[in-house]
Amino acid sequence: CERGRREGRPAGDRVPPPRHLIMPKRPLDDVVLVIRGTVIDSPELTTLRVRTHAVLGVRAIGTVAFCEEGHTEPLSPGSSLVLREGGEVVLSRGCVIRDLPARGFLCPGLVDTHTHAPQFSFTGIGYDLQLLDWLNKYTFPSEAKFKDSAFAARVCRNAVARTLRNGTTSCMYFATIHTDAALQLGRIASGMGQRAFVGKVNMDRNAPESYCETTADSLAETERFVEGMLSDAESGGRGAEVEPSSGVCSECAPLGPAAQPVITPRFVPTCSAELMEGLARIAARHQLLVTSHISENAGEIEWVKSLHPTKESYASCYDYPGLLGRRTVLAHGVYLGESERALLKSRGASVSHCPLSNMMLRSGMLNVRRLLDEGVTVSL
């Protein structure tokens, strides 16, 4: 046939009928929810896709079974649904059908690649100061309180609850230097149903005495943190120890996946070269994500230059120890130079854009379009 010749098949070959005409009816016993209405997503950077009169099926494990637009037929538990790409299916009797409001829509969960969970304890305070003064007056004293596990659990639960409430289903968190508090944060996020990437913060210099580690302790505690997080994952989610004040059921199965550990030197001024090299070895051994800060504030950049006068740039301070790679996420990047942007691109590292923080602390504005045009990956 003519269609067969156009598609490269022998002329005698039959054109197969559409899939939905040959596939038998099959029950979707694992689909517990079907949502009807407008579905909006962005399958690629420059595309916004709007699917109207869509049906989206959700399995019991939380994954999407199907999503297809153009369905106006009536549906109920036990009824049939003909999918253009999946054949005719029968919804289980226990399936819930939910219709979105006429002006409502469904979109994928948001992914936040830079959030400091401890800072939810003093949100909105101290914006009369810029970064370095703000850290010393508000941030470091507040984070030091995380040695109290009950206090840490309350703040972490608040952080996870607030981000979830605003649609953030995946989040990369900075915790504090306290290993047990960082482990609690991962367990709380898992228990509440959020996909979390958690970093135990490392600082062995230029920090208050009450909130600073030795290099050896910082590396040893990072090893303990990573092992604890991996152990939680192996046990099927949250570990056995959950602080009661977190409000998370210690005997219930977690609602979300186990949190993943992230190697987290706070930033170059508070981390010695020896510490950075040790952290790079841990990250490489376990194939972990790495996150930190870079070029957020003009005063911070000058500080880095004074600490490392022989280094070519701020970015090179991460590159030399081996912390710069395709699994690295660096926050802010407001003042990255041309050579630094080229270095990040060559290593496959990405920048987490933090517009609200940049404005509130008057750090500056990141030229996101320039980074994208130069091939650097940018997240929020």
Q: Are 260 and 326 in contact (CB under 8 A)?
A: no
Q: What percent of the chain has pLDDT over 90?
A: 71
Q: Please give the Cα distance from 72 to 56 (Å, whole number).
A: 13
pLDDT over 90 at 48, yes or no:
yes
Closest CA to 205 of 262, 146, 268, 264: 268
Residue range 235-254: mean pLDDT, rounded: 61
Q: In what order do the strands lie in the sheet with 64-68?
A: 64-68, 47-59, 31-44, 96-99
Distance CA 54, CA 42 (A): 15
**Residue 143: partners with Cβ closer than 8 Å, 6 or more residues away:** 118, 176, 177, 201, 211
What's 253-287 look like in SS3? CCCCCCCEEEEEECCHHHCCHHHHHHHHHHHHHHC
- Looking from the CA of 134 toward its CB, the CA atoms found within 13 Å total 20
pLDDT of residue 246: 59
Selected residue with higher pLDDT from 2 and 114: 114
Lowest-confidence segment of 87-91, 162-166, 209-213, 329-333 by average pLDDT: 87-91
Q: Which 8-state DSSP code applies to residue 106?
A: B
- pLDDT exceeds cutoff 50 at 83: yes
Q: Tell me the per-residue pLDDT of 272-330, one tens digit each, with 9 for 90 and over.
A: 999 999 999 999 999 999 999 999 999 999 999 999 999 999 999 999 999 999 999 99
Alpha helices in 166-209 (DSSP H): 179-192
**Given this model, what pLDDT does residue 126 score?**
78
Residue 94: predicted pLDDT? 87
- Helix 273-286 to helix 215-234 angle (10° resolution) is 20
> What's the pLDDT at 252?
64
Structure tokens at 333: 């990047």
pLDDT at 11: 44
Q: Which amino acid is at 80?
A: S
pLDDT at position 78, please?
Answer: 86
Q: Compute the average pLDDT of residues 47-73.
A: 92
pLDDT at 10: 43
* pTM across the whole model: 0.85
Which residues, listed in sequence order, are joined to residue 97 by a DSSP beta bridge?
A: 34
The overall average pLDDT reported for the chain is: 88
Furthest C-alpha separation in the chain? 83
CB-based contacts of 241, cutoff 8 Å, min separation 6: 183, 187, 250
Q: Is the pLDDT of residue 22 over 90?
A: no
Three-state DSSP state, 97: strand
Residue for token pair 């008057």: 362
Q: SS3 helix, strand, coil % of the chain, rounded to 5?
A: 40, 25, 35
